[in-house]
Structure 1
Amino acid sequence: MGGTSSGRRTGARDRDGEGRARNARPRDGLGRPLPYGADGVERQPEGVVRTPEQSVAEAQELLDAGKPFHAHEVFEDAWKSGPEEERTLWRGLAQLAVGLTHAARGNVTGGARLLRRGAAAVEEWAAGTGPARPYGMDLAGLAGWARGLAEDVERGAGPVDAEARAPRLRGGG
């Protein structure tokens, strides 16, 4: 089997440059795997350490481009590399992005569940640990956006347009 730019294929498993299992199949804009050799959307590099402001700006660009799966990867990096006291915040933001991803893929149950879980996490963080507007983000507005989208999805809105329904992290939900 042929190699790819993001890893190599050995036996039945894709491996990264250090031999760790890593799916090297190309992905579409919503993170769904495509056949080997297909043109896909460039993947977000994993394990990137960014400032919180860089994480918010990069995630917003990806959300605005209709790539919530890729925004989730940015939030996941912040969750894993940031200070312990901010992990609930970044994990909640990652859940919001994954919830939008599932809603855009037409997964009603998973989308609504993750949107609500992410809304609860960012609210919990704001109520217990930190400010309501960390790094300029409007957490109350994001929670309201997520719950409203979850309701729309459950009412049968069908797959949502991820770009059209992208949240504004710094206000305007």
Structure 2
Amino acid sequence: MPPGRDRDPAGRPRNARPRDAFGRPLPMGSPGVERVPDDYTPGPEEALEAAARYLADGRPFHAHEVLEARWKTGPSGERDLWQGLAQICVGLTHLQRGNLRGAAALLDRGAGRVAGYRDAPVDTGRVVRLAGELTGTESPDLGRKLDELAALLREGIGS
């Protein structure tokens, strides 16, 4: 176990390293943007709203953290939906960082998980189409696509 690594009471590592607005790690002690807490356990509507807010703010990495928290703490039967949405957000993060290969891999993987999920609170067909539109795109209008995905997530609130 690395000395000084921040761990929770069960011994699992925490991700205490500060991050910038695009989710890139910063040196320890640097000021970073506010993070999603390690112990965050959102319900489905809360996760959709928080992720939509981060996407609308141009912060898909943080949307991924929210969706990841839901996937890890929600019912096992919903795992593919939340994991797929989180992977799509990581794909968007890779696009922001200019990593087209990483973006394509995560967008495809996430779309595959979301496509296989039934009874979702979001329109999975539209989410999959949006991920497909971004795969292999060198210069997408990323801001517009983040807003589109945010709108799709918000449509799922209260359904």
Decide: shared fold, TM above 0.5: yes
Q: Is the 8 A contact 1:13 1:21 kept in 2?
A: no
More deviation, 73-82/13-22 = 13-22
**Quick one: which of 118, 131, 134 aligns to 1:146?**
131
Q: In the aligned structure 2, how far is the partner of 1:101 from the partner of 1:139?
A: 20
**Quick one: which of 15, 24, 41 aligns to 2:6?**
15
Q: Higher helix proportion, which one?
A: 2
Q: Is the 8 A contact 1:138 1:171 kept in 2?
A: no
Quote the residue 1:4 is aligned against. Answer: none
Q: In the aligned structure 2, how far is the partner of 1:20 from the partner of 1:170?
A: 30
Shift of 1:93: 0.5
Q: Is the 8 A contact 2:67 2:85 kept in 1?
A: yes
Q: Which amino acid aligns with 2:69?
A: D
Q: In the aligned structure 2, how far is the partner of 1:13 from the partner of 1:26?
A: 15
Q: Which has the higher contact order (CA 8 A, sep 6+)?
A: 2
**Quick one: which of 16, 29, 33 aligns to 2:21?**
29
Shift of 1:142: 0.9
Aligned CA distance change for structure 1 residues 88 and 35 (closer, same or farther; 3 Å): same
Q: Taking every aligned residue pair, what percent have the same amino acid on both sides?
A: 44
Deviations 1:81-112 (CA, angstroms, capped at 9, x unpaired): 11111111111011111110111111111101
Quote the residue 1:109 is aligned against. Answer: 101
Aligned CA distance change for structure 1 residues 146 and 59 (closer, same or farther; 3 Å): same
1:66 alignment partner, SS class:
coil
2:116 alignment partner, SS class:
helix
Deviations 1:4-29 (CA, angstroms, capped at 9, x unpaired): xxxxxxx7543146464334321001
Quote the residue 2:152 is aligned against. Answer: 169
Query: Matches of residues 37-116 of structure 1 in structure 2 within 5 Å?
Result: 37-116=29-108
- Provide structure 1 residue ranges, at least 5 long, that are not aligned to the other structure: 1-10
Q: Give me the TM-score of the superposition, normalised by structure 2.
A: 0.83
- Provide structure 2 residue ranges, at least 5 long, that are not aligned to the other structure: none
Q: Which amino acid aligns with 1:57?
A: E
Q: Is the 8 A contact 2:49 2:154 kept in 1?
A: no
Q: Give me the TM-score of the superposition, normalised by structure 1.
A: 0.77
In terms of Rg, which structure is larger? 1
More deviation, 27-36/54-63 = 27-36
